[in-house]
Amino acid sequence: MSQYFADFDKVKFEGPESTNPLAFRHYDANKVVLGKTMAEHLRFAACYWHNFCWNGFDIFGEGTFDRPWFKAGSEMDVAKAKADVAFDLFTKLGVNYYSFHDVDVAPGGNSIREYKENMAVMMDVLAKKQEETGMKLMWGTANAFSHKRYMSGAGSNPNPEIFAYAAAQVFTAMNATKALGGENYVLWGGREGYETLLNTDLRQEREQLGRFFQMVVEHKHKIGFKGTLLIEPKPAEPTKHQYDYDTATVYGFLKQFGLEDEVKVNIEVNHATLAGHSFHHEIATAISLGLFGSIDANRGDAQLGWDTDQFPNSVEEWTPVMYDILRSGGFTTGGLMFDTKLRRQSIDAADFFHGHVGGMDTCALALEKAAALIESEELSKKVAERYAGWSGDFGKAIMTGDHSLESIANYAFDNNIDPQHVSGQQELLENIVNKHIFK
């Protein structure tokens, strides 16, 4: 089965002038940028699910991908075949990490006990694959949204036994993630929301979810998992409204249940735009709240109102994002995980490579442009100038609590202050960014 990609060599860096569609033009893993290699900055990962589990089906049509591993025989034979071909692709792409849902890599079986047994077998398979290839696990997670039992949610489900089933999956997937050396564990509430308020008790469901996450945190410490717990925000689809709508909503949820120091966010680009935000906004918000963890690197389509999970292709969108990430210290346990899928018409084996190569080059070029912006200090100096008053004695006294509302009012009256508005220089700053992107 690993022969599926036999005609492809490992993707190499050939430089900006290369015309080879199966070579990197900008991603040079060993190139040093601001003191670290590109590989260390970007920490690329590929996903298991879209690449090896999806058959090209959508709600209007049958699957278009005639993948040989779908025909491997029993469910366990299929799982092992997927592992063979997956690690071959990961290795040839030159990504250092991969990510999975539990049922991506192991069959769910006909019972919770079969699920547990299948996971145990496949964890041994994945451990061997990691040892053979040097691949590492960016994160694991549990799929508690696809099966019909989860049609009304998992942690937020009205039935406590469905809550328990989801808990058993998360328990198993977390243990597997730790055993495989995973650097993060993601909690994505694919159906943790509501479709109508007519049958929904918002307080009850929110408290259930809060307790669920508290138990996850407790288990993390019990088993000694040193990785980062991540929540992945999403506003809607498939539900009308999800409880993890965006980063700010997640922060409020974490504060309510005392988890703000235990969990960070895994931001998906397409989820940010579906929430009515820019990708940049969600990253900046997460950084400002101390919640930034990792990124699902993809994009949506501005003319489609759902989660299309396309490969990133805009250096213009990614440069300001990489600028903020670099200025905040960069990734720690997180990275850029391609939660991306080929278009239904992209049915050739080569399309796997074209999508990932283009996405990796986009992020790498944005990294270089962002580094140049940082080194020029053009933006940082403008921002510092804009807020300079808050570094003075009066501004500091306000923020440290030395002033009351009355004392500030008296200051204004006594000094007859007459502050003047000044330009925010947005157009100039946009031109500065473009100057670096297009040079």
Question: What residues are labeled active site?
Answer: 101, 104
Peptide bond into 16 cis (omega under 30): no
Which ranges constitute the DSSP H helices of 344-437?
Answer: 349-376, 378-386, 393-399, 405-414, 426-437
Name the pairing type of β-strands 241-242 and 193-194: antiparallel
Answer left, alpha or beta for residue 358, where phi above 0 means left and psi between -120 and 50 means alpha: alpha
Residue 179, amino acid: A
Helix (H, G, I), strand (E, B) or coil at 97: strand
Query: Which tokens go with 184?
Result: 């993060």
* Most distant pair of Cα atoms in the chain: their distance: 85
Q: How far is CA 10 from CA 23, 24, 93, 357, in A?
A: 9, 11, 6, 11
Q: What angle do CA 182, 124, 360 make, to 5 degrees?
A: 45
Contacts 24+ apart (CB under 8 A), 107-113: 107/75, 107/76, 107/78, 107/79, 108/147, 109/75, 112/165, 112/168
Contact 187, 232 (CB under 8 A): yes
